Structure 1
Amino acid sequence: MAPRGKSRSDAQESESVDPAAGLLPAGLRDVLAPRAEWEAQASEKLLAGFARHGYVRVKPPLIEFEETLLAGSGVALAGQMFRVMDPVSQRMMGLRNDVTLQVARIAATRLRDAVRPLRMAYAGQVLRVRGSQLRPERQFAQAGFELIGSDALAADVETGVLAAEAVAALGVPGLSLDITQPQLAPTITEAHGLDPKAARAARRALDRKDAAELKAVGGAAAPTLLKLLELAGPARRALDGLKALKLPDAAAKIVADLDALVREVSAAAPDLLVTLDPGEFRGFEYHTGIAFSLFARNVRGELGRGGRYTTPAGEPATGFTLYLDSVMRALPAQPVPPMVYLPHGTPRSTGAELRRQGHATWAALNPEAGDLKKAAKAAGCSHVWDGTAVRPV
C-alpha cells in the first residue's frame, strides 16, 4: 500500500519498481492505493456524465462464447482474444478484449424490441493478448457509451462532444479531438482502380506516414493519397485542402460529411481543439465511418477512441471507449484525504462523528506499544485522534 499523503506520481513510481512485479505476467500489475480509488471514482464520474445524457448502464459478462465475441466486426479483434474451453458446455469461450461489441450483442438480443436509438453506457476490465508500445498493459479498465440504431450525423456529433465533455469534467486539461474517416482512402484507391494488394500496401504506407513508400505503391491514387498525408492537422485547414482536391464522387461525399461534422462539433464545443487526419486507419479496423481519437496535451497516446460501426445485427451504431489508465495519467495530481488514526479503545461513536465531518479513519485493533504518533505513521495515517482533537502526526 502506498503511504498516504504521497502524490499521484509518487504512487505510480512506487508501483513501477514493485519487487513483486515479477510474480505477474508481463502487461499485468496490481493497482495500489490511492490510485485504485482514484480510478474507481473517475469511472463513476464518467458514467454519471453519460447518464445525464440519457445513457443507461449495462454490465456484460467478462467471458462469453467465442462466436458471439467474434460476430460481425468483432473478427477484427480476434488476434487479441484469450480463449478457454468451457468445462460445462465443452464450447470455446473468449475473455472480452473490448466491451463495445458486447453492448451491440445486448442491443440485438435482450433489447431487440426496444425503441431506437438505444443509448447504453458501461465500465469494466478488458484483457488482451498483447499490449502496444504506448499502452503495454494487457489488462485495463474501459468506460464508454454506445448509441445504436441511428445513422444521423447528429449521433456522430453527440459521440465526439460527449466523450470530450465527460473527460474535461474530470479535470483533464488541454483536450483535442482528432477525427478521421477510415473509408476515405479505400474509396480513393478503388476509384483509381488499384487492385486489392496494391490498395492494402498503400493503406499501410499511409498509416505509417511513409511518403516515399506511398508514392511507390500508390499508383494512380498516389498524388491524392499524398495530399491526405500532408493535410493532417487542424480540422478547418485540412478540410479546405480536401475540398480543393479533385475527388471521386463517393470520396467528395465523405469530405462533405466531415465538413458538416466539424462545424457542428466546433459549435457545440467551441473550446475543444479539433484536428483531422484524413488518412488514419490503424486501430479503426472495424469502423465503417466517422471515427475519433481523444488526446490530452500532457499525455502520450490517446485517452480513448470511438466512431461509427455496424452491429452484428446490421444496425448502424456509434460510440466511444475511454481507457481509464490513460485518463488517469492525464489528470493533475489529486489530494489524498487525511486519514485519522484512532487509538485502541477509542469509542466507535467518536469514529462515526469524525467520518460525518469528512475524515477517513483507521482504527487500531490492538493496544499501542509506544508513542501514538509513531503508531499512526506506521499505519500510513496523516493525523491522530488524541482523545480531544484531531492532530497532524
Structure 2
Amino acid sequence: MIDDRQRALLPNGLQDLLPPDAAFEAQTIERLMAHFAAEGYARVKPPLVEFEDSLLTGPGRLLAAQIFRVMDPVSQRMMGVRADMTPQLARIAATRLAHAARPLRLSYAGQVLRVRGGMLRPERQFAQVGIELIGAPEPTADAEVVRLAAEALTGIGVKGLTIDLNLPTMVDVVAEAFGLPTDQLGPLREALDRKDPTAVAELAGAAAPLYAGLLDAAGIAAEALARLDALELPAEARRLVAMVADVVRVIDLADLDAQVTIDPIEHRGLDYQTGVSFSLFAAGVRGELGSGGRYVAGADQNGGGEPATGFSLYMDSVLRAIDAPVRPRHLYLPFGCGPVAGRTFRADGWITVQGLAPETDPVAEARAQGCSHILRGADAIPLDAIDIRGA
C-alpha cells in the first residue's frame, strides 16, 4: 500500500503550487494579459494536446525532443503535449485566422510540459505567457514587441531588468560573405558561444578578425552600437545592425526602467529565428524571465510562411523576480452569522471565512483558519486585540 509520503512525491521538475502561490501566479498572469489586451493583442486558447505533426512545424521542429507523445485512441494518430505555445499560435494564424487582417496581434497563457528541464530552469512544467505579432516585416514590429515585454514586466514590479538583444543570423551572414564551408558553421558557433577567440581564429580563416570584433562589440547598447559601426561589415550584416539600432531607439524613447545590452553573435540555439532576438533577465533571479524574436510563422519544410515576431514569459522565473503581494485581511465569521454578514466586508476587499459548526472557542478557531480578525456584532475585531482569557 502506498503511504501518504509516497503519494506526495512527484516526478523531477514537477511540483504542486500551493496557497497563496497558486493565486499569486494566476493574478500575475491576468495582470500581464490585461497589459497585452490594452495594446490590441487578442487572447487565444489552443489545446494542451494536439497532433504531433502540427506541433513540429516551424519553430516547433527544434522542440521535438522535448515533447511528450501519446496515441490518440480515437484517430489512432500520434499526439503531443505542447512544450511551447508559439508553434500553436503560428498554426492558428496560418489556418483559422488566415484571412484575418494583418498585422495580427495575438496573446496567450497556459501550461507547457517538457521532457526535461535545464540547468537554469529545472522545472519541466510551467506557465507560459506571451504574444505574437504576425504579418509585420517592419523593424517597428520588433521594437513594439521588445518594448511591450519590458513594460509588462516592469508594470508588475520587476526591478533590475536587463534586455539582451541578439542577432542570431549574424554568424551565418558573415560566413556566407567570406565563403566559409557550411560544415564549419557548427564548430564555429560553438567556439563563439564559448567566447573562445583562439578556436574562432582557427575556424574562421580570413573572417576571424571580423568575428573577433563582433565578440568584442558585446556590451551596453550604446557602446556596442558604436563598436559595431566601426567594423567593416558585409551589407547584410550592416542591415542587421541597423535593425537592432532601430529597436534600441524605440526602447530609449519609451524611457523604460531597464538596461539594454547587445550581443551580436549570441543565438542560444534558436536556429529558427531570422532577425532581432532578445532575452529578459532580472538581477539576482535564476534563469531567463522570457525570450523572443523574429521568425517565420507557418513555415514548413518547403518554406513559405509569413514574417512574425513575439515573446514568451516563463512564470516560474517571473514570480521569483517580483515581491509577493500583501496578504489581504481575513475575517472569521463565527457559526450562526447570517449569509449576508460578510457581504459588506467582502465588498471592501476582505476575505471572509464562515464557521460551519458551533465553536467552543471562536477566537482559537479564527486563528486556526488563518484569520487576522473576527466578527463581533457588526465590527471586525483584530485577534491580537482580544484577551484570549475571555475579555
Gaps in structure 2 of 5+ consecutive residues: 300-304, 384-391
Equivalent pair of 1:21/1:29 in contact (CA under 8 Å): no
- 1:27 deviates by 0.2
One-letter code aligned to 2:368? A
One-letter code aligned to 1:141? A
1:371 to 349, 361, 364: 361
Give the match for residue 61 of structure 2: 75
CA distance in 2, matches of 1:337, 1:200: 54
Sequence identity, in percent?
54
One-letter code aligned to 1:119? R
Do the aligned partners of residues 270 and 172 (structure 1) sit closer, same or farther apart at CA in structure 2, a change above 3 Å counting?
closer
CA distance in 2, matches of 1:365, 1:211: 71
Do the aligned partners of residues 270 and 57 (structure 1) sit closer, same or farther apart at CA in structure 2, a change above 3 Å counting?
closer
CA distance in 2, matches of 1:141, 1:130: 15
Give the match for residue 353 of structure 1: 344
Could you report, residue by residue, the CA deviation over 1:90-143 in whole angstroms, capped at 9, with x for unpaired residues? 000010111111111111111111110100111000011111111110000011
Give the match for residue 13 of structure 1: none
Matched residue count: 375
2:277 to 291, 296, 299: 291
- 1:19 deviates by 6.6
Matched, 1:343 2:334: yes
CA distance in 2, matches of 1:123, 1:269: 27
Which deviates more from structure 2 when the two are superposed, residues 203-212 or residues 24-33? 203-212
Do the aligned partners of residues 271 and 194 (structure 1) sit closer, same or farther apart at CA in structure 2, a change above 3 Å counting?
same
TM-score normalized by structure 1?
0.91
1:387 to 356, 374, 377: 377
CA distance in 2, matches of 1:167, 1:270: 10
Matched, 1:119 2:105: yes
CA distance in 2, matches of 1:92, 1:134: 31
Give the match for residue 230 of structure 1: 216
Which deviates more from structure 2 when the two are superposed, residues 20-29 or residues 63-72? 20-29
- 1:372 deviates by 1.9
Do the aligned partners of residues 88 and 39 (structure 1) sit closer, same or farther apart at CA in structure 2, a change above 3 Å counting?
same
Mapping 1:118-157, distance limit 5 Å: 118-157=104-143
Mapping 1:310-349, distance limit 5 Å: 310-313=296-299, 314-349=305-340
- 1:263 deviates by 1.7
Do the aligned partners of residues 113 and 42 (structure 1) sit closer, same or farther apart at CA in structure 2, a change above 3 Å counting?
same
- 1:247 deviates by 1.6
- 1:283 deviates by 4.2
2:38 to 36, 41, 52: 52
Give the match for residue 388 of structure 2: none
SS of 2:59's equivalent in the other structure is helix
One-letter code aligned to 2:200? L
One-letter code aligned to 2:369? A
Equivalent pair of 2:24/2:324 in contact (CA under 8 Å): no
Do the aligned partners of residues 165 and 19 (structure 1) sit closer, same or farther apart at CA in structure 2, a change above 3 Å counting?
farther
- 1:270 deviates by 5.0
- 1:268 deviates by 2.5
Matched, 1:272 2:252: no
CA distance in 1, matches of 2:12, 2:257: 39
CA distance in 1, matches of 2:357, 2:204: 75
Equivalent pair of 2:147/2:250 in contact (CA under 8 Å): no
Equivalent pair of 1:234/1:274 in contact (CA under 8 Å): yes
CA distance in 1, matches of 2:294, 2:243: 13
Which deviates more from structure 2 when the two are superposed, residues 250-259 or residues 27-36? 250-259
